[in-house]
Chain A
Amino acid sequence: MSLLSVNKLCVRPKQAPQPLLTDISLDVNPGEIVCVIGPNGAGKSTLIKSIAGDIAHQSGSILFENIASNPTLRARQLAVLPQFSLLNFPYRVYEVVALGRVPHRSGVQKDDQIIRRCMALMDIADLEQRRYTTLSGGEKQRVQLARVIAQLWSSRNSGSLPRLLLLDEPTTALDLGHQRMLMQTIGQLAEQEIGIVMVLHDVNLAARYADKILALRQGENLAFGTPDMVITQPYMEILFKTPVTIVPHPNHGSPILVSDDG
C-alpha cells in the first residue's frame, strides 16, 4: 500500500506555451525517500506544488492513502517546504518553528519540547531568540526546515498516522556540514515511516540517500528507479546535456557523478 500515488499527471496552465508536466507517475511508500532531479525548468517545483495542492492539474490523478481531507487533520500528516520563503516580519526563530505546531492540539509543554527538539536537529538552538529577518539565507532555510519537521512530529495520539513530507530544494542554501545533517535527519524521519519527496539539485546527494530517484526532463519522466538504475552515464548526459563520468564512491559505493569538463 503506497502513501502517495501519482498517476499520469499532466500540468498545463492556460498561459503556458508547453506542458509543465506530462504523464508523470510515481508511488511513494511509507518510510521511502524519493528524490526528484533534473535541470533548471524541468518541472521539479511544479511536481511538488501539484502534489501539495498549490496548483491544479489538467489530467491524471494524485491519490493519498489514509491522509485526511479535513484541512487541520491533513496538516498533521502532510507538510511542505517551499523553495522560497516570504516571511518578512521580525518573528523570533522560536516563534517561526512554533508555527509548525499550529495544526496540533498537543499543549504548550509538549509543543515546547518538540520545538526544541526540532531546533536542535537543525542546529538552530543557539538562534532561538534571534529575529528571523536578521538571519542568513542558510539559517532561514534551517528554521523553515525545523518548522516543517515540527509540523509532522508525532504527539502521542497521532503516532501511527501515515505522514508525507514534501521538500523543494531543502539543501540549496546549506553548507556541506548542514547538508549532511539535514540528510541524516531526513533518514531518521524515514525510519519513522514518514514518506519523503524532495527536489535536489545535487545529484550525488540524491544518489547517496534516495530510495528512488525521478529524473525529470522538460516535464517528462526520463527515468524513475533506484539510484543505480537512474544515475548512469547515458541518462545523466541526456539530462544535463554535458559529458559526465559515473564512479562509485570509495567508501560506500553509491554512484558519483563527475562532470567531464576537461
Chain B
Amino acid sequence: MVIHRQITLSAHVNQRTKLLASFSLALPLCFLAAVVFGAVELPWSATARSLLGLESDSRTTMIVLEIRLPRALMAAFIGALLAICGAVTQGLFRNPLADPSLIGVTAGATTGAAMVIFFASSFTSLQGLAGLSLVSLGAFAGGALTVLFVYRLATSSRGTSVATMLLAGVAITALAGGLSGLLEYFSNNEMLRRISLWRMGGLDGANQQSVAVAAVFTLAIVFVLPRYANALNALLLGESEARHLGIRVQRVKLQLVLIVALGVGLSVALAGSIAFVGLVVPHIIRLMVGPDHRLLLPASALGGAILLLLADTVARVAIAPVELPVGIVTAFLGAPFFISLLRYRHQYGMQ
C-alpha cells in the first residue's frame, strides 16, 4: 500500500517534470531554428556562436542580431503571452472554447488602440516608448471592457453559455469593425497611414525597444499568473464552490480579467491580432496532462512560445522572400482545430 502510494505520487511528479523539461529543451531549439531559417538560410554553428556573442562582425552576425533575433524574441514573448492568457480566459469562463480572439477581446483591444491613434495623433507623434505605451494603454482599456462585458453577458450561476459567449464575440467584433471603419472615414491621410501601418504591424515591426517592453511585461505576467493556479482550479468547480474553498472570487476574477486584458492588449499593440494561439496551445496541453492550472499555465507559456516561433518561421519561409503575417499561419492552423473542438464539445458537457 505504501509502495503503491509512492509510485503513483512520483508518477504524477514525473509526468509534470517530463513535460516541462521537454518543453524547456524544445524552446531553445525552436528559437535557434527561427533564427537560422528565413529568406537566407544561415549556417547553424555560426548562428549559435553569434547568439552566444562568440562571433561578431560577420554577415551572419549582422543578420542574426539586427533582423532575426528581435523578431524571434518577439514571437516567443507574444506566443507565451497569448497562450497563457488563453489558458486563464478558459479557466475564468469555465469553458475550453474561450479564446480572447474568439470572444472579441482582441477586436476590443484593436479598437481601443485605433481610437488612441486617432485621437492622440493630432498632438503627439506616437513614436518611441511613449507612443507604444499610449497605444498599449488604449488596447488594454478596449480589451478589459470587452472581457467584462462578455463575462457579464455569458456567465450565470449555472455556468457559461458557449453560444452567448461566441455570439457576444461576433457582435463585439462587428461593432469594433464598425468603429474602426468610422475612425478611418474621419481620419485624414496622416492618421490613416498611421492606423494602417500599425495594423499591418505584426512581428516584423520588432525592434530593441518593443522587444524590451514585451520582455518586461511577458515575464511579469508569466511569473504572476501561476500564483492564481489554485484559484483557477477551484473556479472550475463553480463560483460558489470556489468561495467555499476560501477563494476571494470577486477579487481574483477582477485581477485575472485585468491581467488578461493587459496581456492581450499588449500583444495587440506590439504585434497586431494573432488568433487561435490561446486556444490551440492550452488545449493540447490539457490533452497531455489534464486541466490542472499549476502545470497548465507554465506549460502553456512555453508551448505558446514554441508554437509562435514555428508559425513565424513558416510565415517567413513559405513563400520567401515574401513574408506572410504570422496571423495567417496561426489562422490556418487554428480554425480547423477550433471546428473540431466545437464538434467534440459534448465531452466538456457543453450544449
A interface, CB within 8 angstroms of B: 49, 52-54, 71-76, 78-80, 82, 85-92, 95-96, 99-100, 102-103, 108, 112, 116, 128-129, 131, 133, 151
Q: How far is B20's CA from A227's CA once the two chains are assembled, in angstroms?
A: 57
B236 at the interface (CB under 8 A from A): yes
CB atoms of B240 and A52 under 8 A apart: yes
**0 or 1 for each of B225-247: is its CB under 8 Å from A? (1 = yes):** 00000100110111011011111
Query: Is chain A's interface secondary structure helix, strand, loop, or mixed overall?
Result: mixed
- Interface segment among B146-154, B176-184, B256-264, B342-350: the answer is B342-350
CB atoms of B244 and A112 under 8 A apart: no
Q: How far is B247's CA from A102's CA once the two chains are assembled, in angstroms?
A: 9
Q: How many B residues face the partner with a CB closer than 8 A? A: 29
B193 at the interface (CB under 8 A from A): no
Inside 8 A of A79's CB, which chain B residues have their CB? 244
Q: How far is B350's CA from A87's CA once the two chains are assembled, in angstroms?
A: 11
Inside 8 A of B8's CB, which chain A residues have their CB? 128-129
CB atoms of A133 and B5 under 8 A apart: no
CB atoms of A71 and B243 under 8 A apart: yes
B290 at the interface (CB under 8 A from A): yes
B286 at the interface (CB under 8 A from A): yes
Nearest B-chain residue to A103, judged by Cβ: B246
| Residue from the list A52, A71, A99, A133 in contact with B233, Cβ < 8 A | A99
- Beyond known contacts A71-B248, A86-B237, A91-B290: 4 more, CB 8 A cutoff: A49-B240, A88-B349, A133-B348, A151-B244
B100 at the interface (CB under 8 A from A): no
CB atoms of B292 and A87 under 8 A apart: no
Q: How far is B234's CA from A151's CA once the two chains are assembled, in angstroms?
A: 12
14 contacts between A and B (CB under 8 A): A49-B240, A54-B240, A54-B243, A75-B244, A85-B237, A86-B158, A86-B238, A87-B236, A88-B159, A89-B236, A103-B245, A128-B8, A131-B290, A133-B348
Q: How far is B216's CA from A186's CA once the two chains are assembled, in angstroms?
A: 52
**0 or 1 for each of B296-320: is its CB under 8 Å from A? (1 = yes):** 0000000000000000000000000
CB atoms of A116 and B246 under 8 A apart: no
Instruction: Say yes or no: A102-B245 contact (C-beta < 8 A), given A91-B292, A92-B290, A112-B5.
Output: yes
CB atoms of A82 and B230 under 8 A apart: no
CB atoms of B5 and A116 under 8 A apart: yes
Nearest B-chain residue to A74, judged by Cβ: B246
Instruction: Say yes or no: A102-B234 contact (C-beta < 8 A), given A75-B246, A80-B244, A89-B291.
Output: yes
CB atoms of B230 and A102 under 8 A apart: yes
Q: How far is B285's CA from A90's CA once the two chains are assembled, in angstroms?
A: 12
B9 at the interface (CB under 8 A from A): yes
CB atoms of B244 and A78 under 8 A apart: yes
Q: How far is B248's CA from A74's CA once the two chains are assembled, in angstroms?
A: 12
Q: How far is B347's CA from A52's CA once the two chains are assembled, in angstroms?
A: 31
Q: How far is B236's CA from A43's CA once the two chains are assembled, in angstroms?
A: 27
CB atoms of A52 and B290 under 8 A apart: no
Interchain nearest-CB distance for B287 vs A (Å)? 9
B94 at the interface (CB under 8 A from A): yes
Please list the 7 inter-chain residue pairs (A to B) with the smallest Cβ-Cβ separation, ordered nearest first.
A75-B246, A88-B349, A103-B246, A72-B246, A86-B238, A89-B291, A80-B244
